[in-house]
Amino acid sequence: MAFLPVTREDMNNRGWDELDFLYISGDAYVDHPSFGHAIITRILESEGYRVGIVAQPDWRRDDDFLALGKPRLAVLVSSGVIDSMVNHYTASKKPRSEDSYTPGGKSHRRPDRAVIVYTNKARELFKDVPVIIGGIEASLRRFAHYDYWDDRVRRSILVDSKADLLIYGMGEKPILEIARYLSMGVAVNKIQNVRGTAFLTKKEDMNEKLRQFIDGEEHDMPKKDYIVLPSFEEVSRNKRKYAEAFMTQYSEQDAYNGSTLIQQHGDRFVVQNPPIYPLSEKEMDRIYSLPYERTYHPSYEKEGGVPAIEEVEFSITSHRGCYGGCSFCALNYHQGRIIQRRSQASIINEARKITWLPGFKGYIHDVGGPTANFRNKACKKQESSGVCKKRQCLHPQPCKNLEVDHSEYLELLRKLREIPEIKKVFIRSGIRYDYLMLDKNDDFFAELCEHHVSGQLKVAPEHVVDRVLEKMGKPQRKVYDRFVKKFYEINKKIGKEQYLVPYMISSHPGSDLNAAIELAEYIRDMNYTPQQVQDFYPTPGTLSTCMFYTELDPRTMKRVHVPKTAKEKAMQRALLQFRKKENYKLVYEALKLAHREDLIGYGKKCLIKPLRNSSKDNLAKGKAQRKGIAKIKSKNAGKSRRKNSR
């Protein structure tokens, strides 16, 4: 095995004078299957293409981009594993000080809106070479989208980047098909039929079928083959139109029944072909068996390595996709709702490889995917007909066709535990507790607690107020309460002292101050202070972001309360950490504003004490002191009576 070329010297050592594909990445070069650039470059390599990587080039100069020369077929561009704006800024739009995907954890080694900047630079330097964009940043911005950082609707990233093609979702199939077309000499503007891609075109450059549809001449064409979305101009002016466009996009991200989507931008059209069909088990196995080095490029050693490897080096991806349907998650848009899994043999083989790695101490850090306990498709129907357009598998209630079965996943975990070099297998990628609670067989739950938790299990109820949970696409509070009860019952039974660490989101659409206060009361009763609270972060491609921008629920078109001001967000976040001294003023103000003064005082149910030196405070203190003195006097009097009676 060897890293792919990153210098001319590397190319010379392979006897290459030219690349077929140049991959420009916003992340440092980590040759591990948790990184998109590693998978795409390795799968191209496996088909005989010559691929080189330029990682985190200095966009202010030309030298880095030109280091490997002009590629023969195309330049591939990705901002990295995370959207560059999310990578750079917190939910309060403050610059982040660290970047786990950069050597030494240093921040700002990539530009804001990296895909646009890199693509424009590639266009400038390699004028006649096709530029193809992909990864999360490109994928989620393929249509006109609300941009939180600009606080406005931006055009499709295809318009701003001037890229020739956009690969959305998981790109292995599309990139190989595009590579075959390009190697046969097909012009990139003629590649308009590849699933999992989007492109920008003028009407005169469209294929005949698409042009006929636009011109209204599609007499023999099934009506659902194509859907025209409200244009960029419409959605940028009209929030209701934006919500309508988003809901159509959201409903068409399925290979079996998704239509081709068209959105006009001025005199050009963004065209999204239907998604790729789910990968078979054999195809998944092939991807994860490619010859990855499983670590960062050695040139980063002098800077301290790449911190992101620590989370994934000894972890295993067992599957892709998620049918959980969380409103704030973009997986529906990117990986899809249909589970695509690897075989047990493939996973066990990877586990054995991990045991040979330097630094392995016997612990597999994770075996999972977007949701660890989703190893199977939600129902038989999905195998041939795809997902339902008008309902989710788990929300608002579990579908009657949902197949609940942890037995295959449990069998896999048992086999991994039997490998002599492995001491423990953890599950850290998240358990969907509502699905777990639907399982009438407790074997998986019991073995999860006994073998796969290390003192604490992180779970994501996100909130506890049902009207907020409904907007989040999450189960009702009573489901989480039953899960908590059962978790502690099982741990008591097996003689282990283990705890749940709940993950909460503040300021999600639908959450007002009263909901935040109710969540604070729940945290009070748990006797727990969250160390970190995530403010809702509006990112492209999620249903929750659509709610945030439009203040409408696109599923019903009903109004939604959205915390938008910095003050309300700060109050909601502070309420979740009401025990912290620095949050006192915000919590006090929030309780007063919500007329919940009953939670300000000295009682067990109070969140905070009254303001110091206030008249009410002195009265309350005096009352408490008098009550305490009375108790002491009563107690002493009782002692005296007992003494005298002797």
Distance CA 217, CA 210 (A): 10
Q: What letter represents residue 169's amino acid?
A: G
DSSP per-residue letters across 34-100: TSHHHHHHHHHHHTT--EEEEES--TT-SHHHHTT---SSEEEEE--SS-HHHHHB-TTSPBPS--T
Cβ atoms 194, 205 nearer than 8 A: no
> Cis ω on the peptide bond leading into residue 396 (within 30° of 0)?
yes
From the list 159, 70, 65, the residue with the least C-alpha distance to 118 is: 65
Cβ atoms 457, 426 nearer than 8 A: no
Distance CA 587, CA 603 (A): 16
Encode 246-257 in three state secondary structure: HHHHHHCCCCCC
Stated as kind and residue range, the H or E segment containing 364 is strand 363-364
Cβ atoms 16, 45 nearer than 8 A: no
Cβ atoms 378, 434 nearer than 8 A: no
Residue 198: both structure tokens together: 């989007």
Residue 572: both structure tokens together: 């909601």
Distance CA 483, CA 608 (A): 29
Sequence-separated (6 or more) residues with CB below 8 Å from residue 308: 27, 30, 81, 100, 101
Name residues of the chain where pLDDT drops below 50: 643-646
Could you state, in order of their start, the residue ranges of all structural domains in the chain?
8-198, 502-614
Distance CA 286, CA 302 (A): 33
CA atoms within 13 A on the CB side of 48: 2
Stated as kind and residue range, the H or E segment containing 406 is none
CB atoms within 10 A of CB 41: 25
From the list 192, 188, 228, the residue with the least C-alpha distance to 71 is: 188
Q: Cα dihedral sign for 151, 156, 157, 161?
A: negative
Fold of 8-198: Rossmann fold (3.40.50)
pLDDT of residue 221: 55
Distance CA 322, CA 542 (A): 14
pLDDT of residue 621: 55
Residue 190: both structure tokens together: 């003629």
Residues annotated within the binding site for [4Fe-4S] cluster are: 322, 326, 329
Sequence-separated (6 or more) residues with CB below 8 Å from residue 140: 83, 330, 333, 334, 539, 540, 541
Q: What letter represents residue 451's amino acid?
A: H
Query: 477-493 vs 443-451: helix axis angle to the nearest 10?
Result: 60
Distance CA 76, CA 293 (A): 21
Distance CA 620, CA 612 (A): 11
Please give the sequence-ordered ranges of beta strands (E in DSSP) within 307-444, or none if there are none.
Answer: 315-317, 319-320, 340-341, 363-364, 366-368, 424-425
DSSP per-residue letters across 389-401: SS--SSSSS--TT
Cβ atoms 134, 36 nearer than 8 A: yes
- Its pTM stands at 0.91
CB atoms within 10 A of CB 634: 10
Cβ atoms 544, 328 nearer than 8 A: yes
Please give the sequence-ordered ranges of beta strands (E in DSSP) within 110-173, or none if there are none.
Answer: 131-133, 145-147, 152-154, 165-167
Distance CA 79, CA 85 (A): 10
Residues annotated within the binding site are: 322, 326, 329
Distance CA 127, CA 122 (A): 8
pLDDT of residue 638: 56
Q: What letter represents residue 522's amino acid?
A: Y
Distance CA 95, CA 84 (A): 12
**Residue 440 Cα to chain centre, angstroms:** 29
Task: Please report where in the chains the tokens 């149910």 appear, as a residue.
Answer: 605
